[in-house]
Amino acid sequence: MKSMVPKKPLVGIIMGSSSDSKVMHSAAQILDDFGILHDDQIVSAHRTPTKLEEYAKYAEKNGLKVIIAGAGGSAHLPGMIAAHTVIPVVGVPIMVYNDKSEKKSERFKFSAFGGMDSLLSIVEMPNGSPVATVGINKAANAGLYALKILGSEYPEIRIKLKKFKERQHQAVISESNEMKKTGLVKFVQKKFR
């Protein structure tokens, strides 16, 4: 059977900074696992606002079906891209890592709000510019959500998603059977050494 899924990028993955790629690559990995091409770019809502508007036009012109936008801190990128396009946007709130700082001490490693600032900035979009939002650093879930959106148009993606869920189900059943057989203490010792 010939694939009905176009061999061109259907999902755009954008992030506000190169440091966000440490989280956002999980969305790309999920899409790769399903054979879905994606267009990946760095687009900063604050440092490249004209590029953000250009990207929205580019995404529509090139037939992207979903945009996954990851951002940390004030996390304006998902909402701003949603304001410029009718393409569904899935926001990924990112816990900011201060790894660009010259101070490498542990106390400067994470943001003061643990990613809640990003989560609230994305999830609390005003009426009229909705952004679907996943959990903090949950880019893989954003990839899966994008696949569900694509599955409404492409039945073969829907079939692959059903098989994926069945594999998840079977993995849990197998682990449960192993735990029942070995006992909880031995199971933990074996699994988490």
Please tell me whether residues 144 and 171 are part of one structural domain. Answer: no
Q: Number of structural domains, the chain? A: 2
Q: What DSSP state is assigned to residue 20?
A: G
Distance from the first to the final alpha carbon of the chain: 45
Structure tokens belonging to residue 69: 């936008």
**SS3 category, 24:** helix
Which pLDDT value is given to residue 3?
Answer: 80
Residues 53 and 27 in one domain: yes
Asked if 110 and 16 sit in the same domain, the reply is: yes
In a domain, 5, yes or no: no
- Does the pLDDT at position 99 exceed 60? no
**Residue in 64, 63, 82, 76 with CA at minimum distance from that of residue 17:** 76
Pairing of strands 66-72, 89-94: parallel
Q: Which residue's entry shows tokens 């189900």?
A: 169
User: Is the distance from CB of 187 to CB of 178 less than 8 angstroms?
Assistant: yes
The two three-digit tokens of residue 3, written as one number = 């694939």
Which range marks the domain in which residue 148 is found? 11-153
Identify whether residues 81 and 169 lie together within a single domain: no
Q: Could you tell me if 81 and 141 lie in one domain?
A: yes
Q: Are residues 15 and 69 in the same domain?
A: yes
Res. 112: pLDDT tops 80: no
CATH code, 65: 3.40.50.1970
Binding-site annotation, residues = 17, 20, 47
The span from the CA of 42 to the CA of 40, in Å, is: 7
For 136-182, the pLDDT digits (tens) are 999 999 999 999 999 999 999 999 999 999 999 999 999 999 999 99
Local confidence band at 96 (pLDDT 50, 70, 90 cut-offs): confident
- Could you read off the pLDDT of 16-48 as tens digits, one per residue? 999 999 999 999 999 999 999 999 999 999 999
pTM confidence score: 0.89
* Residues 23 and 118 occupy one common structural domain: yes
Per the annotation, binding residues for substrate are 17, 20, 47
Task: Please check whether residue 3 lies inside any domain of the structure.
Answer: no
Do 42 and 18 meet the contact criterion of CB atoms below 8 Å apart?
A: yes
At residue 78, the 3 state secondary structure works out as helix
